[in-house]
Chain A
Amino acid sequence: MRQALPVVADVGARVSSTTQVADAFFQTRLQVRDVSVEPGQFVQLRPRCLEGTYPYLRIPLSVSAVDTERGLVDVLYEVVGPKTSALRHVCVGDEVGFLGPLGNRFPEPASDATPILVGGGIGVPPLIYFGTTLRTAERWDPILVVGARNAGKHLPDTLLEPASADVRRATDDGSLGQAGLVTNLLTEALEAGSAAPVVYTCGPHAMMAAVARLCAGRDVPCFASLEEYMACGFGVCVGCVVERADKESQPSPYGHYARVCVDGPIFDARQIAW
């Protein structure tokens, strides 16, 4: 299904707040005029304090919530290096370069489908936005299944609740929810016999590969939001490619690779050579 995507812009956004929401996870709320973002799309941010030469590239981040009326866009991220650390410390009211929205969106499920959102670690944010729009449409009751290494790597209920009334958690060490992998929770959800399940996933590559395999084995549609090292974010550098599984049947100018930034980041999981 093709839906028209909002126009991309290279503008300035103002930080309206930054809050620590878990271990090293932060939420930054950006005030940005006349920009709309569809669920699954991402943005490339550049704190003005980083406008020197190192670090040089922008920070690609998915969007976890949007309030179009008030012009607010939330990003949720883990502080892992100098760029995310800089973003975390941008003062309220200061400007951040905002390039977006970029990429495609999660496809809407059929009206009788049960969406199951499967997130891992800091891959959960785009699923929050998507789940929220599904619930707001009042046609779906998405199930949100979340896995993380430990309790500290889980986002709090307050952030997940808008996306789902049915949040199920797993941790590798058993410190929160079920002990074990998120795929166990997904298997349970699928075996409970929900009507027409369709899976949307975002998280570490190995987790998404396992989710994709599980879905393929049960003939359940699965859409994955991919991540790759990225430079431009709008298609010119051809750096953020992933290998396609359907390379023989899909002759394209970009051969058997697809660009995560413009051909994705959302792919039908069967298209990817996991």
Chain B
Amino acid sequence: MTDLTTNFAGIELRNPVLLASGTCGYGEELAPFLDLARLGGIVTKTITPQPRVGNAPPRIVETAAGMLNSIGLQNPGLDGFVQDKWPYLARLQTEIIVNIAAPTADLHRDMSARLEDVEGIAAIEVNISSPNMKDGGMLFGCSPTASREVIAAVRSATRRPVIAKLTPNVTDIVAIAHAVVDGGADGISMINTLLGMAVDWRSRKPVLGNVTGGLSGPAIKPVALALLWKVRQAVDVPIMGMGGIATAEDALEFLVAGATAVQVGTSTFVEPGAAANIVAGIESHCDNAGIARVEELVGTLRV
């Protein structure tokens, strides 16, 4: 049996498969479909300092091999999360990474400080990459300076591992990766969604209420792999790879390209038990290939 345990920035994961932020809520809705304890972990839907109602509908549209979303970080806010969502998450026998976003670096620091009091959080993932947030998210993640400031603010307020989630919508993702590592990030998650748009030519209107949204699903896998490989060569911190992972083989490709762990996102919408099936698939593929420890695969791309 292949050893699937994975150390990601000091976090001991049962296996390298996590649920991606924004695609698993706060865990509860998925419980009927898979044993969450079989996963490496869960990354919560982004929480913001105050509750957010999200963007006007339509928020979803299907596109070639994927979908656009413009949910707009609808969430119950930090207090709502701690009171209503955390008690359920705290009972789960899997690692919980809390994803945060805020309009300023100071507010990121305040949120992180508040979360220090919440027992059991494995790490903080900082969403500096949402394309659906007009007062933060990708605004930070497109600038090396702003990315560094936000990550440094979080770093100063927490002892937990800090993971910076990067946007692919930049000219030079390596510069952003260096900046977040300079700011104190212990790890990187990549990639968030690609900015996209769908048009209804008859009505001459955008399909999404928010005009643009984020593209996810199998369509973006090659983009994610290429950017991951570039960043892998540039920085030393571990990387969570994501972008269109739907099968165990997809996940293994990310590991070979340099991801220490992977996150499963949009495919959960299509197949709610996808992440658990991917864990099982990784195990059987590795067994068949005679791989003793899954970590042996990480970054083994031969170029």
Cα distance A53–B266 in the bound complex, in angstroms: 11
A229 touches B60 (CB 8 A): yes
Give Cα distance in the complex from A257 to B72, angstroms: 12
Q: Closest B-chain residue to A228, C-beta based?
A: B57
Is B51 interfacial (CB 8 A cutoff)?
yes
CB-CB nearest in chain B for A239: B60
A53 and B217 contacting across the interface, CB-CB below 8 Å: yes
Chain A contact residues, majority secondary structure: loop
CB distance from A245 to the nearest CB of B (A): 15
A206–chain B nearest beta-carbon distance, Å: 14
| Cβ-defined contact, B272 with A238, below 8 A | no
B296 at the interface (CB under 8 A from A): no
Q: Which of A8, A234, A241 contacts B54 (CB 8 A)?
A: A241
- Binary interface profile of A, 1-13, with partner B (CB < 8 Å = 1, else 0)? 0000001101000
On whether the beta carbons of A255 and B54 are closer than 8 Å, the reply is yes
Which residues on B sit within 8 Å (CB–CB) of A229? 57-62
Instruction: Tell me how many residues of B have a C-beta within 8 Å of chain A.
Output: 42
Kindly specify which of A54-62, A128-136, A172-180, A214-222 makes contact with the partner chain. A54-62
Q: Is the CB of A56 within 8 A of B67?
A: yes
Instruction: Judge if A99 is at the interface, Cβ distance under 8 Å.
Output: yes
In the complex formed, the residue of B with least CB distance to A262 is B29
Known contacts: A54-B64, A235-B25. The answer to whether A255 contacts B74 by CB under 8 A is yes
Cβ contacts B1-45/A at 8 Å (1 or 0 each): 000000000000000000000111100011011000000000001
Are A255 and B64 also in contact (CB < 8 A) when A56-B270, A237-B69 are?
A: no
Q: Give the distance to chain B from A85, nearest Cβ to Cβ, in Å.
A: 14
For the complex, is A243 an interface residue (Cβ under 8 Å from B)?
A: yes
Provide the B202-218 mask, 1 if CB < 8 A to any CB of A, else 0: 00000000000000011
- B266: A residues at CB distance < 8 A: 56, 231
Give A189-229 interface residues, CB cut-off 8 Å to B.
Answer: 228-229
A257 and B60 within 8 A (CB): no
Question: From A99, which residue of chain B is reached at the shortest CB distance?
Answer: B272
Q: How many A-B residue pairs have CB under 8 A?
A: 111
| Chain B residues in 8 Å Cβ range of A10 | 33, 271-273
Contacts of B218 in A (CB 8 A): 53-54, 56
Instruction: Assess whether B122 is interfacial by the CB under 8 Å rule.
Output: no
Contact of B59 among A7, A46, A236, A238 (CB under 8 A): A238
Q: Which residue of B lies closest to A9 (CB)?
A: B32
What is the minimal beta-carbon distance from B68 to any residue of chain A, in angstroms? Answer: 10
Within the complex, what minimum Cβ distance (angstroms) separates B203 from chain A? 14
Q: State whether A56 and B60 are in contact (beta carbons under 8 Å apart), knowing that A235-B25, A236-B23, A255-B74 are contacts in the complex.
A: no
* Closest chain B residue, CB of each to CB of A253: B76
Complex CA gap A54/B221 in Å reads: 14
A58, B270: Cβ atoms closer than 8 Å: yes
The CA-CA distance from A240 to B54 in the complex, in Å, is 12
In the complex, which residues 96-148 of chain B have their Cβ closer than 8 Å to any Cβ of chain A? Answer: none
The closest CB in chain A to the CB of B22 belongs to: A237
Indicate whether A8 sits within 8 Å of B32 (C-beta atoms), given known contacts A238-B71, A253-B80. yes
Chain B residues with CB below 8 A from A237, complex form: 22-23, 60, 69, 71, 269
Please give me the residue from chain B that is nearest to A254 by CB atom. B74
Contacts of B71 in A (CB 8 A): 237-239
Whether, in the assembled complex, B196 has its beta carbon less than 8 Å from a beta carbon of chain A, the answer is no
Question: For residue B273, which residues in chain A have a CB less than 8 angstroms away from its CB?
Answer: 10
Which partner residue on chain A sits nearest B273 by CB separation?
A10
**Is there an interface contact between A234 and B59, defined as CB atoms closer than 8 Å?**
no
A binding-site residues for B, Cβ under 8 Å: 7-8, 10, 46, 53-58, 97, 99, 228-243, 253-257, 262
| 12 A-B pairs with C-beta separation under 8 A | A54-B65, A228-B58, A228-B60, A239-B59, A239-B60, A240-B57, A240-B59, A241-B74, A242-B57, A257-B57, A257-B74, A262-B29
